[in-house]
Structure 1
Amino acid sequence: MGVLEFMPATRKVLRLLASEPEDFAAEYGVRLHEVAQTVAQHSLSFMKSFPYETSPDWFGHFAIEGETQQLAGVCSLKGPPVDGVVEIAYFTFPGFEGRGIGTEMARFVLERARRLPEVTLVTAHTAPESNASTRILERIGMRFSGEAQEDGVPVWRWEIEAL
Protein backbone atom coordinates (compact mmCIF):
# COMPACT_ATOMS: atom_id res chain seq x y z
CA MET A 1 0.00 0.00 0.00
CA GLY A 2 1.19 3.50 -0.79
CA VAL A 3 0.71 6.28 1.69
CA LEU A 4 -2.81 7.68 1.70
CA GLU A 5 -3.64 11.23 0.79
CA PHE A 6 -6.88 12.78 2.04
CA MET A 7 -9.17 15.05 0.01
CA PRO A 8 -11.89 17.02 1.85
CA ALA A 9 -15.32 15.86 0.70
CA THR A 10 -16.84 19.33 0.41
CA ARG A 11 -20.22 19.84 -1.22
CA LYS A 12 -18.44 21.13 -4.34
CA VAL A 13 -16.31 17.97 -4.57
CA LEU A 14 -19.29 15.70 -3.90
CA ARG A 15 -21.54 17.46 -6.42
CA LEU A 16 -18.95 17.11 -9.19
CA LEU A 17 -18.25 13.47 -8.38
CA ALA A 18 -21.97 12.65 -8.11
CA SER A 19 -22.92 14.28 -11.40
CA GLU A 20 -19.81 14.27 -13.62
CA PRO A 21 -17.39 11.59 -12.40
CA GLU A 22 -15.09 11.83 -15.42
CA ASP A 23 -14.78 15.61 -14.95
CA PHE A 24 -14.06 15.01 -11.26
CA ALA A 25 -11.27 12.55 -12.11
CA ALA A 26 -9.72 14.97 -14.60
CA GLU A 27 -9.96 18.02 -12.33
CA TYR A 28 -8.49 16.32 -9.27
CA GLY A 29 -6.08 13.95 -11.01
CA VAL A 30 -7.45 10.80 -9.38
CA ARG A 31 -8.62 7.45 -10.65
CA LEU A 32 -12.23 6.63 -9.87
CA HIS A 33 -13.51 3.58 -8.08
CA GLU A 34 -16.78 2.03 -9.24
CA VAL A 35 -18.57 2.89 -5.97
CA ALA A 36 -17.27 6.48 -5.67
CA GLN A 37 -20.15 8.13 -7.52
CA THR A 38 -22.73 6.28 -5.40
CA VAL A 39 -20.86 7.24 -2.20
CA ALA A 40 -20.90 10.90 -3.30
CA GLN A 41 -24.63 10.77 -4.02
CA HIS A 42 -25.38 9.25 -0.60
CA SER A 43 -23.08 11.78 1.11
CA LEU A 44 -24.89 14.69 -0.53
CA SER A 45 -28.22 13.28 0.60
CA PHE A 46 -26.89 12.92 4.15
CA MET A 47 -25.51 16.48 4.12
CA LYS A 48 -28.97 17.92 3.39
CA SER A 49 -29.70 17.53 7.08
CA PHE A 50 -26.95 20.02 7.95
CA PRO A 51 -27.24 23.78 7.33
CA TYR A 52 -23.71 24.33 6.04
CA GLU A 53 -22.86 25.39 2.50
CA THR A 54 -19.41 23.83 2.68
CA SER A 55 -18.24 20.92 4.75
CA PRO A 56 -17.17 22.02 8.22
CA ASP A 57 -14.19 20.49 10.02
CA TRP A 58 -16.21 17.55 11.25
CA PHE A 59 -17.24 16.24 7.85
CA GLY A 60 -15.57 13.74 5.53
CA HIS A 61 -12.54 13.02 3.41
CA PHE A 62 -11.85 10.73 0.50
CA ALA A 63 -8.80 8.52 0.91
CA ILE A 64 -6.57 8.39 -2.17
CA GLU A 65 -4.08 5.54 -2.51
CA GLY A 66 -0.78 7.32 -3.12
CA GLU A 67 0.90 5.02 -5.65
CA THR A 68 -2.09 4.65 -7.96
CA GLN A 69 -3.92 7.91 -7.16
CA GLN A 70 -7.14 5.88 -6.98
CA LEU A 71 -9.98 6.67 -4.59
CA ALA A 72 -9.73 3.92 -1.97
CA GLY A 73 -12.28 4.90 0.66
CA VAL A 74 -14.04 7.61 2.60
CA CYS A 75 -13.99 8.58 6.27
CA SER A 76 -15.83 11.16 8.31
CA LEU A 77 -17.41 12.21 11.52
CA LYS A 78 -21.12 11.39 11.34
CA GLY A 79 -22.14 14.87 12.38
CA PRO A 80 -21.16 17.68 14.70
CA PRO A 81 -20.40 16.89 18.35
CA VAL A 82 -23.43 16.55 20.64
CA ASP A 83 -22.72 17.04 24.35
CA GLY A 84 -19.01 16.51 23.63
CA VAL A 85 -19.54 13.20 21.80
CA VAL A 86 -18.84 12.58 18.11
CA GLU A 87 -19.03 9.37 16.08
CA ILE A 88 -16.46 8.36 13.46
CA ALA A 89 -17.20 6.35 10.32
CA TYR A 90 -15.09 4.95 7.48
CA PHE A 91 -15.65 2.80 4.40
CA THR A 92 -12.88 1.04 2.52
CA PHE A 93 -13.84 0.61 -1.12
CA PRO A 94 -14.03 -2.98 -2.43
CA GLY A 95 -10.64 -4.28 -3.55
CA PHE A 96 -8.75 -2.16 -1.01
CA GLU A 97 -9.65 -4.20 2.08
CA GLY A 98 -6.93 -5.95 4.05
CA ARG A 99 -4.23 -3.43 3.12
CA GLY A 100 -4.28 -1.17 6.18
CA ILE A 101 -6.35 1.53 4.47
CA GLY A 102 -9.27 1.21 6.90
CA THR A 103 -6.92 1.56 9.85
CA GLU A 104 -5.25 4.61 8.33
CA MET A 105 -8.62 6.26 7.62
CA ALA A 106 -9.93 5.49 11.12
CA ARG A 107 -6.77 6.91 12.69
CA PHE A 108 -7.00 10.03 10.49
CA VAL A 109 -10.62 10.78 11.38
CA LEU A 110 -10.00 10.01 15.08
CA GLU A 111 -7.17 12.56 15.16
CA ARG A 112 -9.37 15.15 13.43
CA ALA A 113 -12.07 14.55 16.06
CA ARG A 114 -9.56 14.95 18.87
CA ARG A 115 -8.51 18.37 17.53
CA LEU A 116 -12.02 19.75 17.93
CA PRO A 117 -12.04 21.56 21.29
CA GLU A 118 -15.64 20.67 22.10
CA VAL A 119 -15.09 16.89 21.71
CA THR A 120 -14.52 14.88 24.90
CA LEU A 121 -15.48 11.39 23.66
CA VAL A 122 -15.15 9.72 20.26
CA THR A 123 -17.40 6.76 19.43
CA ALA A 124 -17.90 4.28 16.60
CA HIS A 125 -20.48 1.61 15.83
CA THR A 126 -19.88 -1.79 14.22
CA ALA A 127 -21.92 -4.84 13.39
CA PRO A 128 -22.42 -6.84 16.61
CA GLU A 129 -19.69 -9.39 15.86
CA SER A 130 -15.93 -9.61 15.68
CA ASN A 131 -14.86 -8.46 12.21
CA ALA A 132 -12.33 -6.33 10.33
CA SER A 133 -13.87 -3.11 11.62
CA THR A 134 -13.68 -4.19 15.27
CA ARG A 135 -10.00 -5.03 14.77
CA ILE A 136 -9.40 -1.62 13.18
CA LEU A 137 -11.00 0.14 16.15
CA GLU A 138 -8.94 -1.91 18.60
CA ARG A 139 -5.76 -1.00 16.67
CA ILE A 140 -6.46 2.72 17.04
CA GLY A 141 -7.08 2.37 20.77
CA MET A 142 -10.87 2.29 20.93
CA ARG A 143 -12.52 -0.02 23.45
CA PHE A 144 -15.79 -1.94 23.26
CA SER A 145 -18.32 -0.23 25.53
CA GLY A 146 -21.45 -2.31 25.01
CA GLU A 147 -24.37 -2.91 22.73
CA ALA A 148 -26.53 -0.12 21.33
CA GLN A 149 -29.22 0.47 18.72
CA GLU A 150 -28.73 2.49 15.55
CA ASP A 151 -31.88 3.06 13.48
CA GLY A 152 -33.46 0.09 15.25
CA VAL A 153 -30.56 -2.23 14.44
CA PRO A 154 -28.29 -3.72 17.13
CA VAL A 155 -24.68 -2.50 16.98
CA TRP A 156 -21.58 -2.63 19.12
CA ARG A 157 -20.46 0.73 20.50
CA TRP A 158 -16.77 1.61 20.74
CA GLU A 159 -15.29 4.59 22.62
CA ILE A 160 -12.10 6.48 23.29
CA GLU A 161 -11.57 9.68 25.23
CA ALA A 162 -10.50 12.71 23.24
CA LEU A 163 -7.41 13.58 25.23
Structure 2
Amino acid sequence: MRVISGRLKGKRLMSPLNDKVRPTLDRIKETLFNIIQFDVQGCTFLDLFSGCGGVGIEAVSRGANEVIFCDWDRDSLKVLKTNLKNLGIDSFVYEGDFKQLLKKQPPEKFDFIYIDPPYAGDHAQTALEMIAEKKLLKKDGVAIVEKLTEDKREFSAPGLKMTQSRKMGNVTMVFYVREDNE
Protein backbone atom coordinates (compact mmCIF):
# COMPACT_ATOMS: atom_id res chain seq x y z
CA MET A 1 0.00 0.00 0.00
CA ARG A 2 1.19 3.48 -0.83
CA VAL A 3 0.11 7.09 -1.08
CA ILE A 4 -0.91 7.68 -4.69
CA SER A 5 -0.66 11.45 -5.15
CA GLY A 6 0.00 14.74 -3.40
CA ARG A 7 2.77 15.84 -1.08
CA LEU A 8 3.25 12.31 0.30
CA LYS A 9 3.14 10.60 -3.11
CA GLY A 10 4.92 7.25 -3.17
CA LYS A 11 5.23 6.89 0.60
CA ARG A 12 4.58 3.34 1.74
CA LEU A 13 1.95 2.53 4.33
CA MET A 14 2.06 -0.31 6.81
CA SER A 15 -0.93 -2.61 6.98
CA PRO A 16 -2.01 -4.99 9.73
CA LEU A 17 -0.54 -8.47 9.65
CA ASN A 18 -3.89 -10.11 10.35
CA ASP A 19 -6.77 -10.87 8.02
CA LYS A 20 -9.38 -9.07 10.16
CA VAL A 21 -8.64 -5.83 8.33
CA ARG A 22 -9.12 -5.27 4.61
CA PRO A 23 -7.19 -2.17 3.50
CA THR A 24 -8.71 -0.23 0.60
CA LEU A 25 -6.82 -1.21 -2.54
CA ASP A 26 -4.73 1.42 -4.32
CA ARG A 27 -6.87 1.21 -7.48
CA ILE A 28 -10.01 1.90 -5.45
CA LYS A 29 -8.37 4.87 -3.70
CA GLU A 30 -7.19 6.15 -7.06
CA THR A 31 -10.70 5.93 -8.52
CA LEU A 32 -12.20 7.65 -5.46
CA PHE A 33 -9.75 10.54 -5.57
CA ASN A 34 -10.09 10.90 -9.35
CA ILE A 35 -13.80 11.50 -8.73
CA ILE A 36 -13.42 13.96 -5.83
CA GLN A 37 -10.00 15.42 -6.71
CA PHE A 38 -11.08 19.02 -7.26
CA ASP A 39 -12.86 19.22 -3.90
CA VAL A 40 -10.25 17.70 -1.57
CA GLN A 41 -8.02 20.77 -1.15
CA GLY A 42 -8.97 22.45 2.14
CA CYS A 43 -11.77 19.99 2.93
CA THR A 44 -12.80 18.32 6.17
CA PHE A 45 -12.76 14.53 5.83
CA LEU A 46 -14.04 11.78 8.14
CA ASP A 47 -12.54 8.33 7.55
CA LEU A 48 -14.96 5.95 9.30
CA PHE A 49 -13.69 2.40 9.80
CA SER A 50 -10.29 3.76 8.80
CA GLY A 51 -8.25 0.60 9.36
CA CYS A 52 -4.62 1.51 8.70
CA GLY A 53 -5.68 4.93 7.38
CA GLY A 54 -5.01 4.63 3.65
CA VAL A 55 -8.00 6.70 2.49
CA GLY A 56 -7.67 9.45 5.10
CA ILE A 57 -3.90 9.68 4.59
CA GLU A 58 -4.50 10.05 0.85
CA ALA A 59 -6.86 12.96 1.66
CA VAL A 60 -4.16 14.59 3.82
CA SER A 61 -1.60 14.14 1.05
CA ARG A 62 -3.93 15.82 -1.45
CA GLY A 63 -4.49 18.87 0.75
CA ALA A 64 -7.40 18.12 3.08
CA ASN A 65 -7.46 20.68 5.87
CA GLU A 66 -8.63 18.26 8.55
CA VAL A 67 -9.00 14.48 8.60
CA ILE A 68 -10.53 12.56 11.48
CA PHE A 69 -9.88 8.83 11.65
CA CYS A 70 -12.20 6.39 13.43
CA ASP A 71 -11.69 2.69 14.14
CA TRP A 72 -12.15 0.27 17.02
CA ASP A 73 -9.77 -2.57 16.11
CA ARG A 74 -6.69 -2.49 18.34
CA ASP A 75 -4.31 -3.84 15.67
CA SER A 76 -5.60 -1.38 13.08
CA LEU A 77 -5.26 1.54 15.47
CA LYS A 78 -1.67 0.61 16.25
CA VAL A 79 -0.79 0.50 12.54
CA LEU A 80 -2.78 3.68 11.82
CA LYS A 81 -0.92 5.61 14.52
CA THR A 82 2.41 4.29 13.24
CA ASN A 83 1.54 5.38 9.68
CA LEU A 84 0.54 8.86 10.87
CA LYS A 85 3.69 9.21 12.96
CA ASN A 86 5.97 7.98 10.15
CA LEU A 87 4.42 10.48 7.74
CA GLY A 88 4.42 13.39 10.19
CA ILE A 89 0.63 13.72 10.14
CA ASP A 90 -1.07 15.25 13.17
CA SER A 91 -4.72 14.17 12.99
CA PHE A 92 -7.34 13.22 15.53
CA VAL A 93 -7.86 9.45 15.88
CA TYR A 94 -11.09 8.38 17.53
CA GLU A 95 -10.55 4.99 19.17
CA GLY A 96 -13.91 3.34 19.56
CA ASP A 97 -17.30 2.56 18.10
CA PHE A 98 -18.27 4.79 15.19
CA LYS A 99 -21.75 5.22 16.68
CA GLN A 100 -20.29 6.92 19.74
CA LEU A 101 -18.32 9.34 17.57
CA LEU A 102 -21.33 10.19 15.43
CA LYS A 103 -23.57 10.55 18.52
CA LYS A 104 -21.14 13.10 19.95
CA GLN A 105 -21.75 15.14 16.82
CA PRO A 106 -18.29 16.41 15.98
CA PRO A 107 -18.01 20.22 16.24
CA GLU A 108 -17.92 20.72 12.50
CA LYS A 109 -19.60 19.21 9.50
CA PHE A 110 -17.70 17.31 6.84
CA ASP A 111 -17.12 17.76 3.14
CA PHE A 112 -16.50 14.02 2.81
CA ILE A 113 -17.31 11.00 4.94
CA TYR A 114 -15.80 7.74 3.74
CA ILE A 115 -17.59 4.68 5.13
CA ASP A 116 -15.72 1.40 4.68
CA PRO A 117 -17.11 -0.96 7.33
CA PRO A 118 -16.68 -4.70 7.62
CA TYR A 119 -18.79 -5.96 4.74
CA ALA A 120 -20.90 -8.22 6.97
CA GLY A 121 -23.45 -6.42 9.11
CA ASP A 122 -25.44 -3.22 8.93
CA HIS A 123 -22.74 -0.71 9.84
CA ALA A 124 -23.02 1.18 6.53
CA GLN A 125 -26.78 1.58 6.90
CA THR A 126 -26.47 2.68 10.53
CA ALA A 127 -23.71 5.16 9.66
CA LEU A 128 -25.74 6.73 6.82
CA GLU A 129 -28.80 7.09 9.07
CA MET A 130 -26.76 8.77 11.81
CA ILE A 131 -24.98 11.06 9.33
CA ALA A 132 -28.35 12.19 7.94
CA GLU A 133 -29.99 12.53 11.36
CA LYS A 134 -27.10 14.54 12.84
CA LYS A 135 -26.67 16.53 9.60
CA LEU A 136 -22.94 15.82 9.56
CA LEU A 137 -22.44 16.66 5.87
CA LYS A 138 -21.84 20.23 4.74
CA LYS A 139 -24.24 21.62 2.14
CA ASP A 140 -22.28 20.15 -0.77
CA GLY A 141 -20.80 17.30 1.25
CA VAL A 142 -20.61 13.70 0.06
CA ALA A 143 -20.82 10.40 1.95
CA ILE A 144 -19.21 7.45 0.19
CA VAL A 145 -19.93 3.82 1.09
CA GLU A 146 -17.56 1.05 0.02
CA LYS A 147 -19.28 -2.33 -0.29
CA LEU A 148 -18.98 -5.65 -2.07
CA THR A 149 -20.40 -5.55 -5.58
CA GLU A 150 -22.25 -8.80 -4.87
CA ASP A 151 -24.02 -7.11 -1.93
CA LYS A 152 -27.30 -6.06 -3.53
CA ARG A 153 -28.54 -4.10 -0.51
CA GLU A 154 -29.34 -0.49 -1.30
CA PHE A 155 -28.39 1.64 1.66
CA SER A 156 -30.43 4.78 2.21
CA ALA A 157 -31.35 7.34 4.82
CA PRO A 158 -33.99 10.08 4.95
CA GLY A 159 -32.32 13.33 3.94
CA LEU A 160 -29.65 11.70 1.75
CA LYS A 161 -29.88 10.68 -1.87
CA MET A 162 -27.68 8.38 -3.88
CA THR A 163 -26.06 10.20 -6.81
CA GLN A 164 -23.78 7.60 -8.36
CA SER A 165 -22.11 4.26 -7.89
CA ARG A 166 -18.82 3.03 -9.29
CA LYS A 167 -18.08 -0.65 -9.68
CA MET A 168 -14.44 -1.77 -9.59
CA GLY A 169 -14.31 -5.54 -9.77
CA ASN A 170 -15.67 -6.97 -6.54
CA VAL A 171 -15.99 -3.54 -4.85
CA THR A 172 -18.55 -0.80 -5.45
CA MET A 173 -18.45 2.76 -4.12
CA VAL A 174 -21.83 4.46 -3.65
CA PHE A 175 -22.02 8.27 -3.34
CA TYR A 176 -24.66 10.16 -1.34
CA VAL A 177 -25.41 13.87 -0.97
CA ARG A 178 -27.86 15.84 1.13
CA GLU A 179 -31.29 16.04 -0.50
CA ASP A 180 -31.41 19.78 0.13
CA ASN A 181 -28.43 20.36 -2.20
CA GLU A 182 -30.74 20.90 -5.16
- For Structure 1 versus Structure 2, the TM-score category normalised by the shorter chain is 0.3 to 0.5
What's the TM-score, normalizing by structure 2? 0.35
